[in-house]
A and B are shown apart, each in its own frame.
Chain A
């Protein structure tokens, strides 16, 4: 991940990501100027000269080449039986699964353990992050209490200072926690997970609150008239109504956690404790020429979850990131 996702792992300073749509709305109101035509009229008035679209296709193909040549490089290196960097080329010359079998057979680099660790951290992290975020958004959107506004501000402010900036302290802190309770100290997935969850409440609260606000309050009133408690409203009604934004936030959180590198590299020292990012990095560090094929093979598999998530849910993401989320 290179760009902020509104759902930050502690790494992403994503708070402002949710701000824009108020402006988008104002674009609409400011921008709606005098001429109001119906659809058929608009086509005749706004028509551009017919120059064809072939040049658009040509440029699009050019863009595809730019976007995909490194991907082709990974693919061809992963399938290259020689498996070294100096023999890698952008176009596959040979086809073999040797790199994959080598990687899976390696005892120095326990690939499937890394994969499992990544699944645990990203999976549990996403689950908790979505739940904690949704509960907080419910409190900020639905309940009326003293300190709500400053609370929201403080939460937003806290996102300006992601946990990764406090890494010296986190390191020392978990070093000491580990001396008392080794199960959650340095070099454990659980310690890392705790740090990831530190930002859970603030990471997506804007995105979530914005969506919660779009659910008519009358529904809550009606449910309360029928005698439903706040917990029943939250668990059985609100959570179902906001399911789309929970999905968006979940995707963003999963992808961010899956790719998080810095804190994982500080925390996870043993090969058996490592996640994919730190593990593959150690493979690359051990010998970047010799193991390059194995690295690319592992990298391909490591990319599958995030690529699958993006490709299957890109429409939802475009919507979630730019419009309809904070109204």
Chain B
């Protein structure tokens, strides 16, 4: 602030001061608590961040300096942690092969490979076993976990004891005690229910029989726990040896595997790599594979073109309909405008998760309302072109009220005397509309149209909920005919059989770049940058 106070300072009420210090104290205490939790878990990054936040809060709010920062700090911290950092992290991930089979560090991967090769020994310890997945995930895709139980030895204590059984949970990362709270045991001593897990029935577990057979919980010193039967697991010794000096793996039959691009591959080039790989820096591989890999390239190009066409056509169609309606209602003699407007706005007021799903139901070929009413028999969501039309029709319905609103606002702000001037000069209503009203309207709403384009460019909700990107290419089930880049990236990372987060990050980065170029062009057009004072 440039000017110092001149008059008598007004005394700050005591409760305000008290509240301020209470908030500061709570923040610092909260950060301390977080740090303590993070230290226990060994996460130094979180400790650093929490300490930094506590210090920043103290410096900014407990002293009289830095008035500006007092107003910016909370927003800045949130912006840095949850928008800037994730973007930087996405960039970093785009240069790795992170994904299914490549989510561990190399050390963890070696342990996992060794654990997978364990063989039972005559006196192997046995556990009662239930196969489980994290609660709420789908059986087909979720990471497996083994819930293990064994009779507790005399004198053992801990929170993982239940009815004389010692409980553990085994994942790819190792074996940990399973707190007995809320756990129930079956008659044979295996875990029947555990909070946070969905215990699979034998039938359900059978769906993942292959994965269960390959699944192994690594233990110290090259040992591991593997499933023996449907309800039993054994502890065994590894049969695969790792040679740290040569960075090679040797299996029981003598095959030597060498480390190559995040996997152990056979040295002689024959046969598949070992199943567990690790995260590795792959440079520009993800980017270059988008542009060089033949299936990926054609799919990407197709999605990219539709990603440009869809927002353009959407903005165009919604704007034309919205503007026509705004013109229609822009007549002082028309009665009941308020009611019409309230009803026309409804499509815009409904949440996307309602409208997109309802439209998807209406486009259903067999019993959807569109085919029923129009008497057509179009496979709206199953054929490429009808699906694209369905997306555009739906978005026209969803988007025209917005255009109607902003055109109404803009029309009201065009002064009457301009139109009168045109009329005095002998222009008819059509000519006035075309040569006077329209240009002024476009100038007023132009930037909003650009914003609308930018929004629809990444309109994930609509596509995901309406078509899910379907129909898919016959040759490549990753590429949908109505996919946008953002839904494509989402499928790569979250939904495909073998998620490839590195590749999805690369697609995200490409979206960043496209959006960046488009925004730059837009800024050049608008005077926004010069208007800041």
- Chain A positions near chain B (C-beta within 8 angstroms): 1-4, 10-17, 19-20, 22-24, 26-28, 31-37, 42, 45-46, 48, 53, 56-57, 59-60, 63-64, 66-68, 70-71, 73-74, 85-86, 88-90, 132-133, 135-136, 138-139, 143-145, 149, 152-153, 155-158, 160-173, 176-177, 179-181, 187, 194-195, 197-202, 221, 224-232, 234, 255, 258-259, 261-262, 266, 269-271, 273, 276-278, 280-281, 284, 288, 292, 295-296, 299, 302-303, 306-307, 309-311, 314, 317-319, 321-323
Contacts and interface: CB of A to CB of B under 8 A. Distances in A.
A311 B516 contact: no
Closest 7 CB pairs of A and B: A198-B82, A201-B75, A322-B409, A169-B89, A86-B367, A3-B402, A166-B86
A139 B136 contact: no
A45 B443 contact: no
A67 B87 contact: no
A156 to B, nearest CB: 8
Contact of A281 (B357, B369, B527): B357
Contacts of B38: 180-181
Contacts of B424: 35, 45
B41 to A, nearest CB: 4
A200 B348 CA distance: 23
Q: Specify which of A3, A15, A149, A310 lies most central, judged by the most chain B CB atoms within 10 Å of its CB.
A: A3
A195 B81 CA distance: 9
A164 B454 CA distance: 14
A132 B74 contact: yes
A290 B41 CA distance: 46
Interface string B238-265: 0000000000000000000000000000
12 contacts: A1-B352, A19-B451, A23-B444, A42-B417, A63-B325, A143-B68, A158-B84, A164-B460, A200-B75, A270-B136, A314-B345, A322-B448
Interface in B435-460: 440, 443-448, 450-452, 454-456, 458-460
A171 B495 CA distance: 13
Contact of B421 (A35, A145, A176, A198): A35
A278 B465 CA distance: 10
Interface stretch (B148-156, B207-215, B507-515): B507-515
A262 to B, nearest CB: 5
B137 interface: yes
B369 A89 contact: yes
Classify chain B's interface size.
35 or more
A173 B86 contact: yes
Given A2-B459, A85-B361, A281 B351 contact: no
B41 A180 contact: yes
Nearest to B501: A168
Given A16-B526, A261-B465, A221 B3 contact: yes
Contacts of A74: 354, 358
A201 B349 contact: no
Interface string B134-145: 111100000000
B532 interface: yes
Contact of B352 (A2, A67, A139, A177): A2
Chain B binding surface, main DSSP class: helix
B325 to A, nearest CB: 6
B83 interface: yes
Contacts of B416: 42, 46
Contact of B406 (A35, A281, A322): A322
Nearest to B82: A198
A33 B421 contact: yes
A231 B68 CA distance: 11
B144 to A, nearest CB: 16
Contact of B528 (A19, A89, A132, A258): A19
Given A171-B493, A221-B3, A322-B444, A13 B347 contact: no
B85 interface: yes
Nearest to B13: A232
A74 B354 CA distance: 9
Contacts of B406: 318, 321-322
B512 A197 contact: no
B74 A135 contact: yes
B353 A259 contact: yes
Given A4-B452, A168-B505, A173-B86, 13 more contacts: A2-B348, A4-B454, A10-B83, A17-B451, A24-B444, A37-B417, A48-B429, A70-B358, A181-B46, A228-B10, A258-B351, A310-B345, A314-B342
